[in-house]
Structure 1
Amino acid sequence: MYQEERLVEIVDYINEHRRISVDQICELFHVSRDTARRDLVKLENKRAIVRTRGGAISPETDPEIRNYRHRLHTVSAEKREIGKRAAALLQEGETVILDTSTTVQACADQIEDTEITVITNSIHQAEILSNKDHVRIHLLGGQLHKEHGFLYGTSTIDKLNQYHVNKAFIGVVGVSEQGLTIGHEEDGMVKRKMMEQAKRVIVLADHTKIGVTEFFQFATLGDIDVIITDRMPDRKFQELLEINQVDLLVTEEEKDIWS
């Protein structure tokens, strides 16, 4: 990878996660610490980032995660592979909950037009699924988060109490020994209730989410059944999943088998 390509990806990562460390740059892009530091110096000179001790943060004064409408246009190939694998787990006649994340959106994109029932609090997921004639959609009510396009609040959680589903597909900003975390507490409270109402909880998380801990913890590793990711995580994280009896599906590994 050329430096300019790497710089673009570093900025994209910071835009989504608000920060990046030198160690994360080394791991994500397979470069030395000196190279990672030079990249950050170059980006700071361009005023694209603000360097901190051990890494960098976004230069934006507002620390909010970038809005959902922007993220819809930056769904990566890795997320699409994860979404494809998740959609393949659905069977005709099942009921499923989809949350608001863009990785779960990649799943919604690839759900077959078959007799299933979907409950969601995302206006984006509902719009995608509305083009599938045989998919029944229950859009949860509540207060609309305009920036990110999801419904939340006590009325959303109360409505979820009425549903009992086969599977829940949940996205995260971080998954680590601290559990499942996200930037918005109101979104996290809804995700927690979604998980409680499902027989089987499936977390969709690309490799950049593994080992990351965000602001609000909404579940522990012991609360989930399956995690789907695009790259094999390190041994320490695999051991955490084994301890918590979480099944691991890796799309990169499956792709290698069939290529």
Structure 2
Amino acid sequence: MTQEERLLAILEHLKHHGKISIEQICERFGVSRDTARRDLVKLEEERLIVRVRGGAIRPTLTREAIRYEDRVHHEAKRAIGRTAATLIRDGDYVLFDASTTVKCAAEEIYVRDLVAVTNSIDIADALGKSDQATVYLLGGKLNPWHRNIVGTQTVEMLRQYRVDWVFLGACGLTEEGLTSSNPEEAFVKREMIRRADRTVVLADATKFGKTLFHSVCSWEDIDIIVTEQQPDDAFRNILEQHDVQILIATGGENG
């Protein structure tokens, strides 16, 4: 087994058990304690684990550092987008935040007389190609990393609108609700929720259990979550307790 294969196996163990000891690594992979320590050092350098006495634990804080244009548009996101798009009807007013999965939804909306408000450059461009959509692009500070508009001016502009729906991407979903890696983006998402009658979160299965830097909202603020596979029992119970409807997309990697 190569080191890369061993590191992936260690991460998989942590995903299910939350912690691993040096002894477990040695026994499972037939390596020395020095090799096991080097593996953990490498994983810690990449901020994938937290080393503790005698082993490692899974970090409680997830760091999001992937450029918008570098994120993979895999089939699960496409399937989630197609399913979410079916919620929209002719004449609806919709807020779209800047998310690759939300962009997938925007590209699958084929209704008439859509009125869209967004802080995403790419979603504005995609919807603007349709003669059946009126698009309002929010102003503020450009974040070239995520190709979106954020800041106090963005939040102030949002307060002028009232819409039927808001479509939000999810950076991380915890037992408490939605989290984001960027406070400015979290403020924009939060104001979007206030301006909408119904809130829809689009999240592939990798987002469940991720805790990021800044809280966006609790489950009480979310009406529908669209994902490609059923959450585990614990998460499903949380969603049921808060009357969050779960829509499972078909045609994705797990659908």
Return the TM-score normalized by structure 2: 0.78
Aligned residue in 2 for 1:100: 98
Q: Distance in 2 between matches of 1:55 and 1:41?
A: 13
CA contact (8 A) 1:231 1:253 kept: no
Aligned residue in 2 for 1:223: 221
Ranked by relative contact order (alpha carbons within 8 Å, sequence separation 6 or more), the top structure is 2
Aligned residue in 1 for 2:241: 243
**Secondary structure at 1:127's aligned position in 2?**
helix
Which aligned pairs between 1:180-191 and structure 2 lie closer than 5 A?
180-191=178-189
Q: Distance in 1 between matches of 2:139 and 2:92?
A: 22
Q: Percent identity?
A: 34
Alpha-carbon deviations, 1:59-87, whole Å to 9, x = none?
xxxx651111212xx11110100000001
The number of equivalent residue pairs is 229
Return the TM-score normalized by structure 1: 0.77
What letter corresponds to residue 156 of structure 1 in structure 2?
T
**Secondary structure at 2:129's aligned position in 1?**
coil
After superposition, the CA RMSD in angstroms is: 3.3
Alpha-carbon deviations, 1:195-234, whole Å to 9, x = none?
0100000000111111221111010011110011111111
Return 5+ residue gaps in structure 1 as ranges: 11-19, 28-32, 58-62
Aligned residue in 2 for 1:67: 67
Alpha-carbon deviations, 1:88-124, whole Å to 9, x = none?
1100000000000111011111111522011000101
Q: Distance in 1 between matches of 2:218 and 2:58?
A: 28
What letter corresponds to residue 137 of structure 1 in structure 2?
V
CA contact (8 A) 1:87 1:110 kept: yes
**Secondary structure at 2:94's aligned position in 1?**
strand
CA contact (8 A) 2:14 2:58 kept: no
Which aligned pairs between 1:184-223 and structure 2 lie closer than 5 A?
184-223=182-221
**Secondary structure at 1:138's aligned position in 2?**
strand
What letter corresponds to residue 103 of structure 1 in structure 2?
T
Return 5+ residue gaps in structure 2 as ranges: 19-23, 30-37
CA contact (8 A) 1:49 1:56 kept: no
CA contact (8 A) 1:113 1:132 kept: no
CA contact (8 A) 1:83 1:105 kept: yes
Q: 1:96 to 1:240 in 2, by over 3 A?
A: same
